Structures are given as structure tokens and as C-alpha cells.
Structure 1
Amino acid sequence: MRPTNVPTTHVLLDLDGTISDSEPGIGRSLAHAFTECGYDPPDDETVRAMIGPPFEVSFPKHGIAVDDIERVIKAYRVRYDSIGLFENELYDGVVEMMDDLRDAGHTISLATAKPQEIAIRITEHFGLTDYFARQVGSSDVIGSGRRTKGEVITHALSRLGVSPHDRIALNHVIMVGDRDHDVEGAHLNALECVGVSWGFGSHEELSGAGAAAIVDHPRDVAAAVAATYRSHES
């Protein structure tokens, strides 16, 4: 039994590129939106680069005029919200990873920059709902204050009752994600992040952002989480 004075270890899991391979549905929906709005559809490399951060951050880097961002997002959602979200597969070993984390006594929550309603539909589709204490995603309103990964993590901590001023409790919250914005969002909230290499980011991207550890297979996540939070107690 866990001593009453030891904080729960919370694991915040990213969705796209960490739990599931969402590239097919996102790519097809982006191609639909770009074409519908008069832009050349993005190639595979561009699609992968845009998965993760909010579209209002990534679109201008790939030729979308700032004044056109909301129009392209709306066209994207027409297809993605009905079809694209299901063009998606769990990575091999992810269910076992979540079992390992749960069996280790950790509390698992979802923390994704994907709109929260869509994220919940995806986890329900995969039968993962019961693993999560909380499911936190972004607001679907640009400028709402919950769009970036850092803002999503801040909201997740609030939902979990973890004070941003409690250093001991924060040392027991670990983000797990595949992109630099997962690491950066964790750091903005004074958390460590375990990077995963099977998603859309590279070892170089994750290490450059300051990931505490990088793992290459879901079976290695639980051990990396344990090593990361225990390092604060040594």
C-alpha cells in the first residue's frame, strides 16, 4: 500500500503519435481542406510536421495566409470530425503500456492538443476510456487560452488537483509524448517529459527540446516514467 504522505504519480499521455497513428485521417482531411480552400495539398512530410501543434501555429509555416486559417480549419473539420478521426490505429504495444502504468499504481490522464470532444470520441472508439482519470484536450476556439500543449497541461493539472506551487506533487507528474511541443509544454508547467520515438518526432527533436528520457517501444515507458520521477527523490 502506498504511504499516505507520498503523492500519486500522474502520467499525462499525448494522443496523436503516442497512443495512435492518426496520420492517414489527418493527412486526407488536410488534403481535402487545402484543396477546398484553393491551396496545393500538403505532401506527407508536411502533414507529419503539422501533427501535434495547433493548426494556427503550423499553417502559416506551410503557406496558409493568416487571414485564411479559420476557413481552412473549418474545411478540415468537415471531413475529419465525421470520417478522419476513425482513419486511425493504435500503435502495437500501447494497451500493454497502459496496463503496465496502471499496474504500477500510476494515475493515467490524457493531455492532447487535439480538441477535447474529438479526443474523447477517439479513446471511446479504441475502448480506452476506463484507463483515464481525466481526458483533457484543447478548446476548439482559437484564442480561448487552451490551445497550446502548455495550456492543455496546465488545465490537466488543475483538473487533477495538482497545485502549480507544490514542487513535491509536480515531481510526481510525468508527460509522455512524441513531439518537441510535448516536452516544451511540460517544461512550462515545471514537469519532466518522457519522449517516444515511434510517433511523429525524432530522437533529435525530442532530445533538443530537453526530454528527460527517450524510449523506442511502448514496453519501455513504465520503466522510464519510474526512473524519471524517482530521480527527483535521490
Structure 2
Amino acid sequence: MTHPPVTHVLLDLDGTLSDSSAGIGRSLIHAFSECGYEPPDDATIRNLIGPPFEVSLPKIGVHVDDLERLIDTYRVRYDDVGLFENDVYDGVHEMLDGLRSAGHALTLATAKPEHVAVRITEHFGLTGYFRAQVGSSPEVGSSRRTKAEVITEAFRRLGIGAHDRIALDHVVMVGDRDHDVEGAHMNAIDCIGVSWGFGSHDELLGAGACAVVDTPAEVVGAVAATYRSRQT
């Protein structure tokens, strides 16, 4: 008997599994002040969370010549204390249990530097849920910084061929920002958006999310519905 491929669920970290806004915000304010910039307000900080800073910071006035220094200054504080100024969203453990009980293989796929992401999942007792944990390379300008590049690396570690349509039809991304959706589409997979993070329904649907859910309890059903719809 031929068994169907395992369904792989790729999960974002910031804004999907945990609310990292306090640590990121305080570390950004510190870095902006140290580098001579007016610190961003809370709304701007929330909008910055998710994409790589070298993409988002120039959009709010950081000069390209200051990017590396500001990001390095941010990381000094964040890597020391900011990463633990963070809370797992209510219902996330139950969501992960439900996905695993449904037979899905779970992989962390975050644009956060991988070594930092691993420290966070270890701190919150999430490591055991994941078959692989994939993050960005920490160096600005490296070959693995965007969500699309992170997903491509996740495929490599999971042994999923970039042109294997059967395998790709059994992979879905779950994330809270438009770059999660766009990165998924660049790798020819669907993305389920979550509205409890830093994005909105309009942002996620506008980017092409196949569905948007409002609570972690809805994710298991949304993953199942994605594959039922492909079979009809």
C-alpha cells in the first residue's frame, strides 16, 4: 500500500508562536538612541517586526551606511536580554500538540537569526515539537535572510525537492505577515495567515494567504482544509 506524503507545516516564530514585541521594541529603541536616531513609536515598531531589518529600516529613514552599526547595536541588547522579553501566545502549545497528533511534521521557519531562534524555543520548551529549526544567517547581506530563502533552506534540510510537486502539495507555511505569504509563494506553497500577531487580515489576504485564522485553535482545521481543497 502506498502511503500519502507526510504533511509538513512550517511555522513562523515572532507573531505566530510568541509575542516578541517587548524585547524587540526595547532593543530597537536602544539601538536607535545609541546611533543618533529618533526612536520609533510603538506602531512603527510593530510594523518592523518580521521582515529583515536591512529591508524595513531604510523605509523609516535609517541611512544605508548606518544599517550594519544599528543592527549590531540592536543585537547586543537583544541577544543578552531582549530575546527573553517574550511570551508564548495562549493556545500555542495546544496548537502544536494538535498538529503533531494529526500526523504533521513541524518545522520552525523564521527570518530571525537561527542561533537566536533556537535559544528562544529551548527557553520555552518548544524544541521537541520540531523536526528542523531553520532561521536566517546573521550576517547582513548573507544568502539566507528573507523568508523565501529560509523556506528554501527548510526544504533542503527536510529533503523536499524544489520541483517535486507531490511533496510541495504537502507543505504549508503558517505566519502572521505578508512576507511569510510571499516567501511561501516564491517556493510554490500555500500560506495560512494568523491574525493574532503583527499583521492584519487585509495584509495577509492582500498578499495571497489561502486562509486567515484568528486563534491558534483554528490552525489544525485550516491545515486540513488546505489539503482537502486540493483533492477536490
- Which residue does the alignment assign to 1:216? 214
Instruction: Give the 3-state SS of the residue equivalent to 1:81 in structure 2.
Output: helix
- Which residue does the alignment assign to 1:52? 50
Amino acid at match of 1:135: Q
Aligned partner of 2:41 among 34, 37, 43:
43
Amino acid at match of 2:34: E
In structure 1, stretches of 5+ residues that fail to align are none
In structure 2, what is the Cα distance between the partners aligned to 1:169 and 1:177?
20
1:66-77 pair list within 5 angstroms: 66-77=64-75
Contact 1:116 1:136 in 2 (8 A): yes
- Which residue does the alignment assign to 1:16? 14
- Which residue does the alignment assign to 2:159? 161
Contact 1:173 1:229 in 2 (8 A): no
Amino acid at match of 2:28: L
Instruction: Give the 3-state SS of the residue equivalent to 1:226 in structure 2.
Output: helix
Amino acid at match of 1:131: Y
Alignment pair present for 1:225 and 2:217: no
Cα deviation digits, residues 128-181 of structure 1 (max 9, x gap): 010000000000012211000000000001110000111111010000000000
In structure 2, what is the Cα distance between the partners aligned to 1:4 and 1:125?
39
Deviation at 1:125, TM superposition (A): 0.4
Alignment pair present for 1:139 and 2:142: no
Deviation beyond 6 Å, 4+ runs, structure 1? none
What is the TM-score normalised by the length of structure 1?
Answer: 0.98
Deviation at 1:219, TM superposition (A): 0.3
In structure 2, what is the Cα distance between the partners aligned to 1:151 and 1:63?
26
The alignment's C-alpha RMSD in Å is 0.7
Instruction: Give the 3-state SS of the residue equivalent to 1:35 in structure 2.
Output: helix
What is the TM-score normalised by the length of structure 2?
Answer: 0.99
Question: Identity of aligned pairs, percent?
Answer: 70
Contact 1:196 1:214 in 2 (8 A): yes
In structure 1, what is the Cα distance between the partners aligned to 2:231 and 2:149?
27
Instruction: Give the 3-state SS of the residue equivalent to 2:80 in structure 1.
Output: coil
Instruction: Give the 3-state SS of the residue equivalent to 1:92 in structure 2.
Output: coil
Contact 1:174 1:229 in 2 (8 A): no
Alignment pair present for 1:179 and 2:191: no
1:196-215 pair list within 5 angstroms: 196-215=194-213
Amino acid at match of 1:150: A
In structure 2, stretches of 5+ residues that fail to align are none
Aligned partner of 1:126 among 124, 127, 149:
124
In structure 2, what is the Cα distance between the partners aligned to 1:137 and 1:36?
27
Deviation at 1:127, TM superposition (A): 0.3
Deviation at 1:232, TM superposition (A): 1.6
In structure 2, what is the Cα distance between the partners aligned to 1:4 and 1:54?
41
Contact 1:139 1:146 in 2 (8 A): yes
- Which residue does the alignment assign to 2:30? 32
In structure 1, what is the Cα distance between the partners aligned to 2:112 and 2:164?
28
In structure 1, what is the Cα distance between the partners aligned to 2:226 and 2:190?
8
